[in-house]
Amino acid sequence: MTNPGSQDRPSDDFSEVKEQYKEAEGARQDYEAKRAKLVEMQYKLQAMKLQAAAAEEELRSLENFSMTGLLSSLRGDRQERTERARDQLHHLQTQFDAALDAFTSLEAQVAELEKRVEAGDQARIQYEAAFAAKLRQAEVGAGESADRLGVVSAELTQLTRQAELLKKAGKAGDEARRGLLEEIETLSTMGRCRVAEGHRAISMLMNTALKATYDQCAGRVRQGCRRFATRYAEALGPDGIRDEDGTREMRETLTRIGNQFDRNWFFSTEQFNSNGFVLMILESANMLLECKQNEATEKIALLKEERRSLVEG
């Protein structure tokens, strides 16, 4: 005899789980929006507090003996400026109190939503498990929906893999850029060192040591650029590297830098063999990868929504 607990959930049970998940997701989105608003209000309160403190200081200087008050007395406008400063301070304090009340109210809402989000984690887990069960059933089904589901699932797998590769490539690009800047800073610091005049032998030894250090720095830059070029090519794939959008030229340029960069590039002013050129290429390549990753992320979201519609019916 089959245990009813081992069977898949009926459709009405899934609908209930789905509704609970939707409520939990709504609470999470509301929480994130209000949490961002809370941070924004916190910065605003800090700015208002500084404004009020400055206004209070100005009023104090006018009311008490100070250079500001003395000059105002000499001009004959001390009383007028004092009243204006007092009104301004009162206005700022009133605004601050109202903003503080709004902040406190929003803070309480965020705290309550945070509890709902934590409680909603279980609804998300239950929904994902129920959806996975329905997905398995749909994948072994027949008909146009099942066929389309197979295509969507295959595209999702491919795009998810591509997004992961793009992320790794972007990380390699960031590391290459950061490495170049660190080597430039290292050499800049060394360039500020000076050997006392008249010590020719010491100067020759120092120059030899400097050249060796320059070569080591250049080697690390080459290594970082070669790693980036490899990740770049892997992320875009053979079909993603084309002449018309500049992706092929970018890969070839990264490869050239990874093979040819030497110590002379640190001090070169040539257009295509200098620090500035390398930095521009690294930043441009990363921007291109970021655009590709955003495109992949948008497609993944659309495909997931289509898959959800196909499964839930």
- Identify residue 152 by its one-letter amino acid code: V
Q: Report the pLDDT averaged over residues 99-108.
A: 93
Distance CA 4, CA 15 (A): 19
Q: What is the pTM of this model?
A: 0.60
Lowest-confidence pick of 19-28, 108-117, 175-184, 201-210: 201-210
Distance CA 274, CA 261 (A): 9
Q: Report the pLDDT averaged over residues 246-256.
A: 91
**Which residues does 42 contact at the CB level (< 8 Å), separation at least 6?**
103
Lowest-confidence pick of 21-25, 89-93, 99-103: 21-25
Q: Is 2 in a helix, a strand, or coil?
A: coil
| pLDDT tops 80 at residue 233 | yes
| pLDDT tops 70 at residue 27 | yes
Nearest CA among 265, 247, 262 for reference residue 169: 247
